[in-house]
Chain A
Amino acid sequence: MTEANEIRAKSFWGKAAIAVLLGGHLCLYVVYALLGEFDPFEFFNVLLLISNFVIAAILYYGDRDVLIGGGIMFLIATHAFIGHRLAPDYLTSGAILMVNILVLYVGVKVNQHLPRTHWYAFVASYFALYGIFIVSLNNSEALFLLFLLGMAACARSLRLISYFWAFTLCFTFFQPYAWESLLLSFFLLTAVFFARGGVNKGLAKFFLATGLTVLFLVFLPITIAVMGEEILNIQPVIEDVRIRAAIGRTFLTATLATLILAAFVVPLTYAMSRLKFPGRTLLLSLMDLPVVIPQSVAGIALVTALGRNQFLGQLIESNLGIAFDNTLVGIVTAQVFVALPFIAKASYSAFEAIPVKYEQVAATLRAKPFESFRRVTLPLASRGIIIGAVLSWARAAGEFGAVVILAPSPETAPVEAYRRFVSVGATEAAPLAVVLVLFSLVMFFLLQASIRFLPRSAGGEA
């Protein structure tokens, strides 16, 4: 129990406090009336004085909580003194008084019955709200009172206070993106508050909170783009033939690029996981190279090698009839180049994680090497491979830099978005951006969902 609870009205200090507050109110009343500052028979002023006497009587005879009683009297006295100056009219002043009394009551109860942290949070919240609404937001008393009531209602639980503050901040400082930021911050708070775990829970929760905050700052633009655009703006974009063609082309080329990659990278990485050969480590690091090289540089490198006027490009075009500049083949080539590391890394680690004992046992069960690869190793690695393929597909579909340099002209969706941005500006290109984000999200979720049905990796088996 807190010390405050021990102070009762019957004690000496309790009586003294009541006497000082009541006396103070009475003195001010008389002094200001004599100075002619206000009308002593004004209804509101009389009401304040009478209510103060009533409270004093209740406190004295009724053995009530002196913190609440004294606090209420203090509030009444203060409001009688400054109320009609700060607030535009008596009605507002009265409302502020009532809400303040309620907050005082809640505050005292929080102080008495809940841990210290709740009390600190409550007091800090009060002053923060005061600062936001009275100081920063042009004296908007009505909003202040409304939010204060909300805060008092949330005072029981720190979680509710946190949600309350997320709401308040989103609707004051992030006003233009209120709903978007509210969605993300509520998600964050829910994740942190309902996180369960064993060892080092506090530290892990802290990491979760900070990590999610940064993550949400990354996601905020996407959320704003998707939630901010009206469905009517998107309609013409969806019906635009050029854009439809661009999306279709992106889908086709990215899928082709991924299939090509899968066809030669998966066997290669299997071999690398099972064999030791000179240059193996070098090859492993080289597979990451396309991630490091800037996309535009990759595009320039590809043009230098495969362009119409270059030796290799000319050789292939004259012998095989395949051109790379401004063709679908060019697009696929650029996409294959930039998407390679994702599927390569994922499928290498998938194969690496499968113990050789499975293949050895399969061999003793009469399976030929290819059969044991097909029936044991490949299914066990499929999850990793598909995850890599999904990432590769996404990378290929989203590739802009290399594609725009090698094959700018049958436009893929990212190239088309850039065209629009350059020709008509960000606002006009926004609906297209939204459509592309939605398209990517749908594809990504579909592929992720399909992964759930694949076997888990073999590492866990005893």
Chain B
Amino acid sequence: MSLALRCESLRLRIGEFELRSVSLELGSGGYLVLLGPSGCGKTTLLKTLCGIQRPDEGVVEVDGEEVTDLAPNVRNIGYVPQDATLFPHMKVRDNISFGLRYLHTDEQDRRDRFDRAVQLMRVSQFLDRSCEGLSGGEAKRVSLARSLVLSPSVILLDEPLGMLDPISREELVSALRDIRRETGTATVHVTHDREEAWALGRTCAVMNDGAIEQAGTLQQVFREPATEFVARFTGASNIIPVECERVNGELVGRSAFGILRMNGPECSDRAAIRPEWLQVSQGDGAISAILASVRDRGAFVELEVDAGSERLVAHVPPQQARGLTVGGNLLMRMEGRAFGLPSEEVADA
């Protein structure tokens, strides 16, 4: 598989903020979701990749060619900023065709590209409107179309689903899937929302404080988090100390919560448990716990339970939560495996 985008040891310092040796790889046709909290450097990384920012050190390659010192207009990377940034003095049509004249192709080809992008992003009904009246989702689609007409090797999306109502989000998610299916454009999708990662991504990288904490397939990152930050950021909010040992080739952890089956290659002294893996149950291996609070979250019910000396959070289906009373006893059981985290000294290093 050839690489559409690669960057290695990117360093950049802007005042207090700093990108600390960021390396990433994205195969052609790939879809990388870059997860991270606000202010962790996601947008700066995107700007560095597309050339708006120059890195202090490091290499950026597009389609195997180094572009580190090239201006954005010769890089063949599309960039869709968080607020769409449509040119306010142009109509939608002129926004979309903005870059076409800089492609050295004939009139027919330009028209075809324009039509394809318009059709793919379903923006044909407001081509002649001014940009000011567009809704957030419409503006994002126009902005996507504007980048797509140029057939970039990579397209960088900065929080494409941010600040949208649920219906616009659904529409845009399907538009992004269409782009992947129809054009095969390699995509970097920046977000802080892990739902988006599962909705769209194949691979995933978690960023924190200017550095990549972990990169890999979604399953790897979500089920085998490399650091405590990744575990917490991907939603495994229960982190408990365990005593780990190997029994019959399998890792088993003893905790205040009981005996856990552990994931991971090596023993470690802490384990992370996703809230949705804890269920109310009567069967074997169930552990007694005391219910501390119940909060209905619509699609699921959030329970806080005290098991041993640990307080754990569980997301259970509403029917399981029926008849539970705060302060009462209940039996809980873990579906799946807890995953071991590297010990704290390693994580802090």
**B146: CB under 8 A from chain A?**
yes
Q: Give the residues from 266 to 320 in chain A that come closer than 8 angstroms, CB to CB, to chain B.
A: none
Q: Which residues of A contact B79 (CB under 8 A)?
A: 360-361, 364
In the bound complex, do residue A357 and residue B99 qualify as a contact, i.e. CB atoms below 8 Å apart?
Answer: no
> Contacting chain B: which of A34-42, A73-81, A255-263, A375-383?
A375-383
- Interface size of B by CB at 8 A reads 28
- CB nearest to A462 among chain B residues: B83
Given A364-B52, A366-B102; A357-B73 close (CB under 8 Å): no
Chief secondary structure at chain A's binding surface? helix
**B283: CB under 8 A from chain A?**
no
- CB nearest to A458 among chain B residues: B88
- CB nearest to B163 among chain A residues: A462
**A362: CB under 8 A from chain B?**
yes
In the bound complex, do residue B87 and residue A358 qualify as a contact, i.e. CB atoms below 8 Å apart?
Answer: yes
Q: Which residues of B contact A366 (CB under 8 A)?
A: 73-74, 99, 102-103, 150
**A461: CB under 8 A from chain B?**
yes
A360 is contacted by which of B52, B77, B99, B150 (Cβ under 8 Å)? B52
CA–CA, A366 and B150, complex, Å: 9
**A154: CB under 8 A from chain B?**
no
**A159: CB under 8 A from chain B?**
no
Q: Give the residues from 342 to 390 in chain A that come closer than 8 angstroms, CB to CB, to chain B.
A: 357-358, 360-368, 371, 375-376, 379-380
Q: Which residues of A contact B99 (CB under 8 A)?
A: 365-367
**A419: CB under 8 A from chain B?**
no
Smallest CB separation, B134 vs chain A (Å): 10
Smallest CB separation, B60 vs chain A (Å): 14
In the bound complex, do residue B102 and residue A364 qualify as a contact, i.e. CB atoms below 8 Å apart?
Answer: no
In the bound complex, do residue B88 and residue A363 qualify as a contact, i.e. CB atoms below 8 Å apart?
Answer: no
Produce 1/0 per residue, B50-67, CB < 8 A to A.
111000000000000000
- CB nearest to B146 among chain A residues: A365
**A236: CB under 8 A from chain B?**
no
- CB nearest to A379 among chain B residues: B89
**B38: CB under 8 A from chain A?**
no
Interface-centre pick from B73, B83, B103, B131 (highest chain A CB count, 10 A): B73
Q: Which residues of A contact B72 (CB under 8 A)?
A: 360, 363-364
In the bound complex, do residue A357 and residue B98 qualify as a contact, i.e. CB atoms below 8 Å apart?
Answer: no
**A116: CB under 8 A from chain B?**
no
In the bound complex, do residue B73 and residue A364 qualify as a contact, i.e. CB atoms below 8 Å apart?
Answer: yes
**B71: CB under 8 A from chain A?**
yes
In the bound complex, do residue A376 and residue B51 qualify as a contact, i.e. CB atoms below 8 Å apart?
Answer: no
In the bound complex, do residue B73 and residue A368 qualify as a contact, i.e. CB atoms below 8 Å apart?
Answer: yes
In the bound complex, do residue A456 and residue B77 qualify as a contact, i.e. CB atoms below 8 Å apart?
Answer: no
CA–CA, A45 and B75, complex, Å: 107
Smallest CB separation, A137 vs chain B (Å): 59
**A425: CB under 8 A from chain B?**
no
**B258: CB under 8 A from chain A?**
no
CA–CA, A148 and B132, complex, Å: 56
Given A456-B88, A458-B88, A462-B83; A364-B98 close (CB under 8 Å): no
**A455: CB under 8 A from chain B?**
yes
Smallest CB separation, A102 vs chain B (Å): 58
Given A358-B85, A360-B52, A380-B88; A371-B102 close (CB under 8 Å): yes
In the bound complex, do residue B98 and residue A365 qualify as a contact, i.e. CB atoms below 8 Å apart?
Answer: yes
Q: Which residues of B contact A458 (CB under 8 A)?
A: 88-89
CA–CA, A455 and B89, complex, Å: 6
Given A376-B87, A456-B88, A462-B83; A362-B98 close (CB under 8 Å): yes
CA–CA, A357 and B86, complex, Å: 10
What are 17 A-B contacts with C-beta separation under 8 Å?
A357-B85, A358-B85, A360-B47, A361-B85, A362-B87, A363-B52, A364-B51, A364-B73, A364-B79, A365-B102, A365-B146, A366-B74, A366-B102, A456-B88, A458-B88, A460-B88, A462-B83
Known: A357-B85, A361-B81; 6 extra A-B contacts, CB below 8 A, are A360-B47, A361-B85, A364-B73, A365-B99, A367-B98, A371-B102
